[in-house]
Amino acid sequence: MDYEKFKSDYVIKNAISMCVLQIGELAGKLTDGFKTSYNEMPWRDIIAIRHRMAHAYENVDLELLWKTALNNIPELKVYCEKIIDKN
């Protein structure tokens, strides 16, 4: 899928938005100790994007959401898998 398809597909936009919201919500529940120990992720930014999407949904930057889904979420997944594998 390319950006134009993403931008025009309401269902896909909403699905990705919900995933980003959930990731941000869960990141907000991580302890400060965890975030300090595993500080290679920008936890504050992850939480902030959730807040922006939840409280200003009509102003969501679709290009930022697209780039987040394409680049940042896969990177976060790999990082979390490494943490799980270590423990």
- As annotated, the active-site residues are 50, 55
Residue 54 CA, distance from chain mean position: 12
Secondary structure of the chain as H, E, C letters: CCHHHHHHCHHHHHHHHHHHHHHHHHHHCCCHHHHHHCCCCCHHHHHHHHHHHHHCHHHCCHHHHHHHHHHHHHHHHHHHHHHHHHC
